[in-house]
Amino acid sequence: VHLRLLGSQRNIGGELFFGEASARDLAREFGTPLYVFDASDFRGKCREFLAAAPGSHISYASKANSSLAVLSLALEEGLDVDCASLGELEAALRVGFRPEQITLHGNNKSDEELRRAADIGLGRVVLDHLSEIGKLADLARGMRVMLRLAPGVDPETHEAISTGQEDTKFGFNIADGSAESAYREVMKRSSLRLIGYHCHVGSQLMNSHAHQAALHRVADFAVRMGSPVEEICAGGGLGVRYVAADQPESIATHCEAVRRGVEGAFRAAGTAVPRLGFEPGRALVGEAGTTLYKVGVRKQVGGRVYLSVDGGMADNPRPQLYGATYTAINASRMDEPHGAVFRVSGRHCETDTLISEAFLPSTTDEGDLIAIQTTGAYNFAMASNYNRYPRPAMVMVGDGTPYLAVERETLSDLFARERVRSKATP
């Protein structure tokens, strides 16, 4: 099986390197499991996006990886940011994003989130349901808002990351008239300024067909409502390469397809074409991430060989959540053919299969270092402490000397916020 190296990954003498940094040295210095994040790959993707969509409003969808180090790189690269909670919002502010660069999302925003958005004057609040229109209007003065629309398009992806269909908890349904009611509600409120419409059809999409179909419906709706539209946001959704079969279209092709979709729809209606917005998450960070694990156990069970690594569902719940697939590399035996099939499992008290059929050298054994590619999106961000495992460290490579961006949690971190009732003294 041919190894597909991503970003700055290299094979030097049979060992995996990220630029000049060897996986073995990183594992020795920072321990395993270890999230390795390739800043140069991320910066390159940000620049590709900016170049492919000149004049567009590009916000990094911070939910994909909201570590402060990654957010600060996004800021340096000139992106704005999309946040979906107070925590993500505070993370963005902490690294220096100005409030006007921030978009707030959420299908059930708390009063605290709305108040904070109004107090600091966020760039955009994307409205998702009727009652928050009134709530925000009472708090805000001149707040720029967008309506999140559910355009009724089914993307071809996993159900848990499909969001653009009619039957969804997100946004205002165009077909059943909810979107029009929301539009009328917003227009009644002088403290809100409707700048445009938003849709996000789904995630890990290999092409822009669903985006184009959705944007046509959004544009039709915008034209029907009549008020001039400043911005149309296409959300995120562009996919990345997890396994060889994943062949997502390029960032340039994606941006061009979305631009043509919006332009076509507005031109056909004879109205001015609004500014385009994008909220890429996975496409920017996914391939920049690699997780290093150590094999602890090699076990033959019938015809199958299990490799149990020192991480699993707590640092990467995606295989269990979405049936997500990944590619593994034996980081110290890269010159050996990766042709034998193994099941890579985690160490949690569940059947936490990380890769059901991983192709690795037949000699792969206990003590080997395994690199799982494309873990930059929705891994760190979704990590838990299941089984009381401290969360892994994240090391940043490709930005000068590797540095520890997130410290490994300690056992005392795990208990820092817990109390037991003190026993009455006799």
- Enumerate binding residues for ligand PLP (CB under 6 A): 61, 63-64, 82, 105, 200, 203, 235-237, 279-283, 377
Give the residue with the Cβ less far from ligand PLP, 202 or 402: 202
Give the residue with the Cβ less far from ligand PLP, 206 or 273: 206
Tokens 């009328």 correspond to what residue?
Answer: 184
Give the residue with the Cβ less far from ligand PLP, 7 or 239: 239
Q: Please state, in angstroms and rounded to a whole number, the distance separating the CA atoms of residues 99 and 225.
A: 29
Under 8 Å CB-to-CB from 135, ≥6 apart: which residues?
Answer: 111, 114
Positions marked catalytic? 349
Minimum distance of ligand PLP from residue 45's CB (angstroms): 11
Q: What residue is closest to ligand PLP based on CB?
A: 236
Minimum distance of ligand PLP from residue 163's CB (angstroms): 6
Task: Output the CA torsion 231→236→238→243 (10° steps).
Answer: 170
Minimum distance of ligand PLP from residue 186's CB (angstroms): 18
8-state DSSP, 354: E
Cis previous bond, 426, omega within 30: no
Q: Could you tell me the CA-to-CA distances from 129 to 168, 178, 184, 192, 399 in Å, in that order?
A: 12, 9, 13, 15, 42
What the block records as the tokens of 62 is 């911070």
Give the residue with the Cβ less far from ligand PLP, 1 or 160: 160
Q: Please state, in angstroms and rounded to a whole number, the distance separating the CA atoms of residues 344 and 353.
A: 6
Give the residue with the Cβ less far from ligand PLP, 7 or 277: 277
Residue 379, judged by CB atoms within 10 A of its CB (0-12, 13-18, 19+), counts as buried
Give the residue with the Cβ less far from ligand PLP, 132 or 279: 279
Minimum distance of ligand PLP from residue 69's CB (angstroms): 18
Q: Please state, in angstroms and rounded to a whole number, the distance separating the CA atoms of residues 339 and 321.
A: 27
What the block records as the tokens of 258 is 């979305």
Minimum distance of ligand PLP from residue 134's CB (angstroms): 22
Question: Residue 47 phi/psi, 5° resolution?
Answer: -65, -40
- Cβ atoms 333, 363 nearer than 8 A: yes
Minimum distance of ligand PLP from residue 198's CB (angstroms): 7
Q: Given phi > 0 = left and psi -120 to 50 = alpha, else beta, which region is 367?
A: left
8-state DSSP, 317: -
Minimum distance of ligand PLP from residue 144's CB (angstroms): 16
Give the residue with the Cβ less far from ligand PLP, 282 or 347: 282
Task: Output the CA torsion 165→226→60→66 (10° steps).
Answer: -70
Closest to 87 measured CA to CA, from 119, 120, 58, 63: 63
